[in-house]
Amino acid sequence: MKSSNSRPSRIIKNPFIHELSLSTAQKVQMGLMSLTVFPLRLLLALGFMMLAWAFTYVGALWRSVSVVEPQTWLKRLLDFCVQMSMRAMWFCCGFHWVTVKGQRADPSEAPILVVAPHSAFFDAITISTTLCSFVTKESSKHVPLWRTIIPYVRPVYVSRGDPDSRKKTVEEIKRRVTSGEKWPQLMIFPEGTCTNRAGLVLFKAGSFIPGLPVQPVVLRYPNTLDTVTWTWIGPGGLEILWLTMCQLHNQLEIEYLPVYTPSQEEKENPVLFASNVRKLMAKALDIPLIDVSFNDCDVLLSNGPLGIFNFSCLLEFNLLVWRLGLKTATDASVLEKQATKACKLRGELLRVEDFAQSLGLPLSDTLRQVHGMFDQKENGRIDYRHYVIALSTVCQSTKPKENLRLAFKMFQNEEDGSVTEEDLAAILEIMLGVENVDLSGLFLSLEGDKGKITYAQLCQFVDQHPDFAYNYIRFKNQPSNFSFDQAKSNGNDQKKQD
């Protein structure tokens, strides 16, 4: 599989992994704080949360979800009480003071605040101290206590299970910021997921579609020990809460940058608008841009002896299938059907028109890019089986053996279920995201028929040799030591949804 150059690859560090290591002194501190300060802090924090819950419950009694009421003295009093209760709760969590730089713009000047990087549930401090509306998961409606507190600021709910959710969310954002009514200022975390703050990942375009001025807001946690980061691999939510409350003090800096007014070109192109704001915020934070998004999480978190080594082409392919709407529509049963279809083609090479017909999609530039990624001989024809392997790899990146089984189904000899060394090399090139795989080391280590192998034999060998990918295969630009950063830099720079 080759790159179509439709997406630059800058992945310096996996933004979805947070490794936390405590020194002996820090472990002793955590032990002492756990027995003394932590229980008291937790009790007080819960008490203030209950107080905030009581105020929001009263405030919700006459509040409409779809209509903004006039600002009365009672509403202002309740807002003040909610803010103070929440601030006291965060104080009990160790955030004794929060450094604020810059000036928050008036909603009439910037109806949307874009906040990044998003890395912790403590980022909610910015919401609770301003009472801005925000975008959150629909499942938050079912969280005890929070299901009463969160609706107080009239959030925009998003549901990952609804295929039209993104469209509905964008429409609601546009409705609010263009209605002329005095809705609360809308605070959006455009990354759409938590990261480890190693860099800014791609911004979702939703908050930039209205084409209105936005105010960038950057967050910093300048703590010696990072106990706040909550991302896909690393400490869990309860562990983070415990470790953070066992810190003597936790620092948070909130900086309001100048309002960004889009040009006419940016108004017409929300992706460009989002990209330019992201560059501005990365510069203010002095961190790099990382060209991955929430949609790439599963690909970037693959691991094991058959895990992805070079992410460049597979991340690009992942983006293209998202654009075609194929990713959300693909599950295990769909992959099985695609593999069966590939088997019936018996290795027949498809032109782009035939490829489009097989997928049931109209010809488009995006589909041509996908087709071109598998046109190794540059003769305008591709092996459909290669496409299915890539699709299963990005859709089931945490199940490499299942992807391997599917690949064997398409390439195996019907008599003994084996595949040839050449075909296995082609399979692994796509699954690992590498080029020019040499399997001579693997086949020299096998007993029995040389030059071919069954799925069961390969799985058994991989299970017996956890260093399989290190010692039994070779490929172009193979790094001498497979660390995450090296693996993704073969010729490249390289939980929570809200």
Q: Which burial class, exposed, middle or buried, applies to 409 when counting CB atoms under 10 A from its CB (0-12, 13-18, 19+)?
A: middle
User: Which residue has better confidence, 227 or 496?
Assistant: 227
Does one domain contain both 280 and 346? Answer: no
Is residue 2 situated within a structural domain?
no
Nearest to 4 by CA among 316, 253, 270, 279: 316
Query: Predicted confidence band at 12 (pLDDT cuts at 50, 70, 90)?
Result: low
Max distance between CA atoms of the chain, in angstroms, equals 85
Is residue 15 situated within a structural domain?
no
Q: In whole numbers, what is the pLDDT of the chain averaged over residues? A: 87
User: Which residue has better confidence, 89 or 64?
Assistant: 89
Tally of domains within the chain: 2
Does one domain contain both 272 and 343? Answer: no
Percent of the chain, pLDDT > 70?
A: 92
Is residue 253 situated within a structural domain?
yes
Does one domain contain both 283 and 302? Answer: no
Does one domain contain both 427 and 400? Answer: yes
Strand partners, 214: 112, 260
Is residue 8 situated within a structural domain?
no
Nearest to 63 by CA among 136, 150, 127: 150
Is residue 473 situated within a structural domain?
yes
Query: Predicted confidence band at 9 (pLDDT cuts at 50, 70, 90)?
Result: low
Q: Containing domain of residue 190, as a range? A: 24-291
Q: Are 314 and 391 in contact (CB under 8 A)?
A: no
Is residue 300 situated within a structural domain?
yes
pLDDT in tens, 328-358: 778 899 999 999 999 998 888 999 999 999 9
Q: Are 108 and 181 in contact (CB under 8 A)?
A: no
Query: Predicted confidence band at 497 (pLDDT cuts at 50, 70, 90)?
Result: very low
Does one domain contain both 45 and 189? Answer: yes
| pLDDT, mean of residues 125-146 | 85
Is residue 358 situated within a structural domain?
yes
pLDDT in tens, 41-52: 999 999 999 999
User: Which residue has better confidence, 41 or 140?
Assistant: 41
pLDDT at 484: 35
Long-range pairs for 476-481 at CB < 8 Å and ≥24 separation? Answer: 476/434, 476/435, 476/436, 477/434, 477/435, 478/434
Q: Are 294 and 497 in contact (CB under 8 A)?
A: yes
Does one domain contain both 118 and 142? Answer: yes
pLDDT at 7: 52
| pLDDT, mean of residues 160-169 | 72
Q: Are 148 and 57 in contact (CB under 8 A)?
A: yes
Query: Predicted confidence band at 495 (pLDDT cuts at 50, 70, 90)?
Result: very low
Residue at a domain's end among 291, 306, 336: 291
Range ranked top by mean pLDDT from 58-67, 70-79, 299-308, 329-338: 329-338
Is residue 311 situated within a structural domain?
yes
Residue at a domain's end among 265, 291, 317: 291
Does one domain contain both 375 and 397? Answer: yes
Does one domain contain both 152 and 283? Answer: yes
Does one domain contain both 243 and 320? Answer: no
User: Which residue has better confidence, 230 or 166?
Assistant: 230
| Token reading at 218 | 């950057």
pLDDT at 448: 62
pTM above 0.85, yes or no: no
pLDDT at 11: 59
pLDDT at 140: 78
Inter-CA distances, 382 with 13, 133, 375, 388, 495, Å: 33, 49, 5, 11, 37
CA distance 448 to 130: 70
pLDDT at 160: 65
Does one domain contain both 369 and 319? Answer: yes
Residue at a domain's end among 248, 271, 291: 291
CA distance 145 to 158: 19
Does one domain contain both 196 and 113? Answer: yes
pLDDT in tens, 362-405: 999 999 999 999 998 889 999 999 999 999 999 998 899 999 99
pLDDT at 5 over 90: no
